[in-house]
Amino acid sequence: MRTVSLPKVMLTHAALIGACAVVLYPVLWVIKMALSPSQAFSMSPNPIPTEVTLQNFVHLFTMQDGLLWRQLLNSIIVSGATTLIGVILASTAAYAFSRFRFPGRTLGMAGFLITQMFPGVVMAIPLYILLDKLGLLNSLTGLILVYSTSSLPFCVWMLKGYFDTIPRDLEEAAVMDGASQWLIFTQIMLPLARPAMVVTALFSFMTAWNEFILAATFLTDDKMFTIPIVLQRFVGDYSTQWGYFAAGAILVSLPVMGLFFKLQKYLIGGLTAGAVKG
Amino acid sequence: MGLFMDQVNDRLQRRWNLSGTFWLTSLLWIVTLICGQSATGSVAFAQDAESEQRVVWHAYRGAEEKALKKLVESWNEEHPSQPFKLLFIPYEVYASKVDNDIPRGNGPDVFISAHERIGQWAASSLIEPWPVDSLQGYHPKTLDAVKYQQKSWGVPLAYKSLVLFYHRKFVKQPPESVEEMLEVAQRVTDAPAGRYGLVYEAANFYMHAPWLTAFGGEVFDKEGKFALNSPEVAASYAFAEDLVLTRKIVPEDASGSLVTHLFNSGDAAFAINGPWFLGELDKDLDFGMVPLPPLAKTGLPASPFLTVDAAFVSARSTHKEDARQFALYISNHDSSLIRAREGLQPVATLSVYDDPEIQKMGQLMTFRKQLDHTLPMPNRPEMNAVWEPANQALRQVLRGSVEPAMALKQAEQRYGFYTKPAPEEQPMTPLLIGVALLLLALAATTVMKFRDGSLWAEMKANKPAYLYLAPAAVGMILLIVAPFVVGSMVSLFAHHNGEFTYVGLTHFLNILLSREYGLTDPLSFYFTLAVTVAWTAVNVFFHVSIGLGLALLLREPWVRLRGFYRVLLIIPWAIPNYITALIWKGMFHKQFGAINGLLVALGLEPVSWFSQFSTAFAANVATNTWLGFPFMMVVILGALQAIPRDLEQAAEVDGASWWQRMRHVVFPLLKPSLVPAVILGTVWTFNMFNIIYLVSGGEPDGATEILISESYKWAFTRQQQYGYAAAYAVLIFFVLLAYSAVTGQLKLDD
């Protein structure tokens, strides 16, 4: 490893610290409001908390007779299942697009992209009717199905793009060794595409984790609610309970940050370099 | 021989495994469906078991919710065979759930809501009327509020209106008139120091209503015609302008948060606000509350809008009689007493105010006194189309950019646009013929393509590819394509109070020929399209360049704490943007925002961000850049892993400069993963609705709206013109499709 000059290190850190400062400055107000005993939106120029209390967090867990745990679980189930289904379906589809030349391929790929251009405003009601007919209204399954398909196009395109960068020599060698297509897909392609899998997983998870409008349209029973609907509870007709909302916002973002923290080693520790060299 | 067997084995194995993939993924769909069925099955079962369960919807929180819960419990004890179940529905989706769920039989039996949508609900037959004179004992104003076309539609429970709050340290004696109040306010005001005599949301038409009535204005005249374009209303607008711009007694751009902040910090003598304000005030604040005083000049009371919370019986309830009894139960004397005493609700039931305990509750009694001088919020469906023009005119006047009379004339014109009668009904035959021809053409081309059999053979040879693709494709067609096709059909219809009439391509022609508005009017499709394109281009540029820059820094192995930086930098993506977008909006406030604070510290002039197009647009972009770059950064971090570092190092050894390495090694290898992210980023930004809504709100004068936010406005704040809104959505789709076709991105490959 060559040494890196000191000014370069300093500049890089300065740039990163600057970026973090810009990112964190507005977030300080969220923290301030979450820790404040008041329900008002903080307009003070000072983002440092002046009073610290955990009562907003306590309220989150004790209101509605402690139903929040159940709703957290709902959110985890919905986001987890969305991620699982999304990534599995996307990786098989992306593999087909990347490694086969079949009639309808161009059309199919364009089709995935085109679906992203549909403005959601016209789709909510037809989806509602469809789920109603399938008996999936007010159920987590209906929500999972809708979320996983809406995150699919990005996942398919992202994975297809990444699969394309994986050299074919590896598969050809594997075919020589008598490996089946399935084996190649699961044992070679998927592990090599780990960084892209992580990005798509994170994306699918986020699609489901923060979505509010569809969830609130399809779900009516509070035992079925996901966390974003619960957060919206604090947004009222005339006023918003900002202390509770901020505490909830922090609560919602912690699992995402934790997940990202866990996953980022796969995002960084790419395997292709070694594999291709060999 | 062995080789042959291997091949056979291999083929067999491949076949099995391929269908294995197919079955595995199909299984996944099936399992989810079955789980769903059983989950809903159990729900359905539960519903069967509780088919006697009646449902009440509400959006109450805190003490109000607790009091209501108590009433439901006592009802259930007294009526064990007709139990009611209380369900909380968030305010944001309350109205749309009522509209969606009730007609399809999924709605509640009773719902509690503000009265302002009665006209629309009654017209679309969502609620049951009450027999004449069956409702007795409520304040006449609250009964007025629930009346529409000579019928009563709900049982009044409680009401909300503005009153006057004052700080005792500035105000010894509550003022007898508006003039007297302004005298005190003028004395207290020290605008440069951030101290104001009176704080209220001056640019909000709801908050403006007391001045409107004090000058003798009204929203609708006796015949139900738009009446804001009158000298009386103009006088009230000029009065507000004088308070804000000339005398500077009232702060500019005051949001609800700023009003609370200034009153809490003792930098305001008076505040005009409603009952919800009590929940935001600091515990140890020494303040008083009185009804709004009259305006001495006209001798008229300053009457705020009155909103009545009422219990409505759903027209689709299967237990209408129980629902009626329940609605009367929660509004009878004993129940109302509980709601007043424990829920701190200003209740509509008059006898409650004779209770000695209630008479000691000063705050409640203030609302009761104000109630006599209120203007019940008009409940006609057209009221929905008043807000936007009225607010826009108010903001123009408070910016000093337009004279009140002129602004109100424009408001009347806009109101006319929003409430114009639906286009003529048209015969459906052309549509049916068109669809038939299209299907025929499709069938013909398919037959032609398959005729010589080579396509079929090729498809057969690629069977595995189709198997890999099938599960995803099925899901997409069923859950995205089909709903979109169905949803876009709405664009051929005009919607009015629950009724749809077929109007063919009229909406499209109206929009595309810009028949109603000039090309440069913010309501014109082309104006909004230009704004949307600029919005998208600028945002995507910043997202990608910032994301790329940070990703390149963060992949360097010698950067310590990389993991730490990475996690911090994705925070904007992780936190719900509803709150962060509003924090950004606050940071852009002219007088109290952090951004102007920074500008002033640097010796620059403070900027009034939302009063000109360029700066309002910049504020939107800044917020959306902050929110959007982490996603691009993560995508690029992943994509960078496809680039072997030794390739770059080799280039470096060969003497390639940083830029040459980027251009010839990094970018080409980054492209396959980055391009889809950029295209999809473009599409998403094009349809990024909530940042516009939360930050600039379309200011100034709707100029910063983008196509999708216009579509939302047509659907929800302009007389629910769903057909017109859907036509916008379909046009958005075609614009995006044309863009990707022209730039050749649909064929992007290899």
Chain B residues in contact with A117 by the CB 8 A cut-off are 683, 732-733, 736-737, 740
Instruction: Examine the domain organization and report whether B280 and B395 are in the same domain.
Output: yes
**3-class SS of residue B529:** helix
Instruction: Examine the domain organization and report whether B193 and B297 are in the same domain.
Output: yes
B90 touches chain A (CB under 8 A): yes
* Cα gap B690→B696, rounded to integer Å: 10
Instruction: Examine the domain organization and report whether B117 and B190 are in the same domain.
Output: no
State the count of interchain CB pairs (< 8 A) between A and B.
433
**3-class SS of residue B576:** coil
User: Cα torsion for B30, B35, B41, B46, to the nearest 10°?
Assistant: -170
Q: What DSSP string describes B216-266?
A: T--SB-TTS-B--SSHHHHHHHHHHHIIIIIS--S-TT--HHHHHHHHHTT
Min distance A87 CA to chain B CA atoms (Å) = 10
Residue A273 pLDDT:
39
Interchain pair A117, B490: CB under 8 A? no
Instruction: Examine the domain organization and report whether B252 and B199 are in the same domain.
Output: yes
Q: What DSSP string describes B354-421?
A: GSHHHHT-HHHHHHHHHHTT-EEPP-SGGGGGTHHHHHHHHHHHHTTSS-HHHHHHHHHHHHHHHTPP
- Tokens standing for residue B574: 């992780």
Count of residues in chain A: 278
Instruction: Examine the domain organization and report whether B267 and B315 are in the same domain.
Output: no
How remote is the C-alpha of A192 from its chain's centroid? 21
pTM score: 0.87
Give domain status of residue B167, yes or no.
yes
* Cα gap B133→B603, rounded to integer Å: 68
* Cα gap B440→B443, rounded to integer Å: 5
Min distance A275 CA to chain B CA atoms (Å) = 10
Mean pLDDT value across residues B363-385: 94
Please state which CATH number belongs to domain A51-277: 1.10.3720.10
Residue B138 carries which DSSP code?
B
Angstrom CA distances, B124 to B378, B428, B497, stand at 17, 24, 5
Interchain pair A220, B572: CB under 8 A? no
Residue B347 carries which DSSP code?
B
Does residue B155 register a pLDDT over 50?
yes
Does residue B371 register a pLDDT over 80?
yes
Give domain status of residue B146, yes or no.
yes
Min distance B206 CA to chain A CA atoms (Å) = 11
Residues 215-254 of A with CB under 8 A from B: 216-217, 220-222, 228-229, 231-239, 241-242, 245-246, 249-250, 252-253
Give domain status of residue B557, yes or no.
yes
Mean pLDDT over each residue of chain B, to the nearest integer: 88
Percent of residues, chain B, with pLDDT higher than 90: 60
Residue B660 pLDDT:
87
Bond into B192 cis (ω within 30): no
Chain A residues in contact with B196 by the CB 8 A cut-off are none
Give domain limits for chain A: 51-277
Give domain status of residue B90, yes or no.
yes
Give domain status of residue B172, yes or no.
yes
Matching residue, tokens 């930004």:
B685
- Tokens standing for residue B41: 């099955």
Residue B749 pLDDT:
53
Does residue A81 register a pLDDT over 50?
yes
Provide the domain limits for residue B201.
163-303+386-418
Q: What is the pLDDT of residues B215-261, one digit of tens each?
A: 999 999 999 999 999 999 999 999 999 999 999 999 988 988 899 99
Min distance B184 CA to chain A CA atoms (Å) = 25
Does residue A83 register a pLDDT over 70?
yes
Residue A227 pLDDT:
92
Instruction: Please state, as a whole number, how many other Cβ atoms lie within 10 Å of the Cβ of residue B558.
Output: 12
Instruction: Examine the domain organization and report whether B113 and B238 are in the same domain.
Output: no
* Cα gap B375→B210, rounded to integer Å: 9
* Cα gap B363→B354, rounded to integer Å: 15
Instruction: Please state, as a whole number, how many other Cβ atoms lie within 10 Å of the Cβ of residue B595.
Output: 18
Mean pLDDT value across residues B392-404: 94
Residue A274 pLDDT:
38
CB burial class (10 A; 0-12, 13-18, 19+) of residue B673? Answer: buried
Give domain status of residue B381, yes or no.
no
Residue B229 carries which DSSP code?
S
Give domain status of residue B722, yes or no.
no
Residue B33 pLDDT:
53
Instruction: Examine the domain organization and report whether B75 and B214 are in the same domain.
Output: no
Residues 94-123 of A with CB under 8 A from B: 95-97, 99-106, 108-123
Rg (CA), chain A: 23
Domain containing residue B178: CATH number: 3.40.190.10
Instruction: Examine the domain organization and report whether B281 and B184 are in the same domain.
Output: yes
Instruction: Examine the domain organization and report whether B442 and B580 are in the same domain.
Output: no
Instruction: Please state, as a whole number, how many other Cβ atoms lie within 10 Å of the Cβ of residue B96.
Output: 17
Instruction: Examine the domain organization and report whether B606 and B689 are in the same domain.
Output: yes
* Cα gap B397→B412, rounded to integer Å: 15
More confident residue, B649 or B64: B64
Instruction: Examine the domain organization and report whether B628 and B663 are in the same domain.
Output: yes
What is the helix, strand, coil percentage profile of chain A, to 5? Answer: 75, 0, 25
Q: What is the pLDDT of residues B192-224, one digit of tens each?
A: 888 999 999 999 999 999 999 999 999 999 999
Residues 188-227 of B with CB under 8 A from A: none
Residue B530 pLDDT:
95
Chain B residues in contact with A15 by the CB 8 A cut-off are 549, 553
pLDDT range class, residue B37, cuts 50, 70, 90? very low
Does residue A129 register a pLDDT over 80?
yes
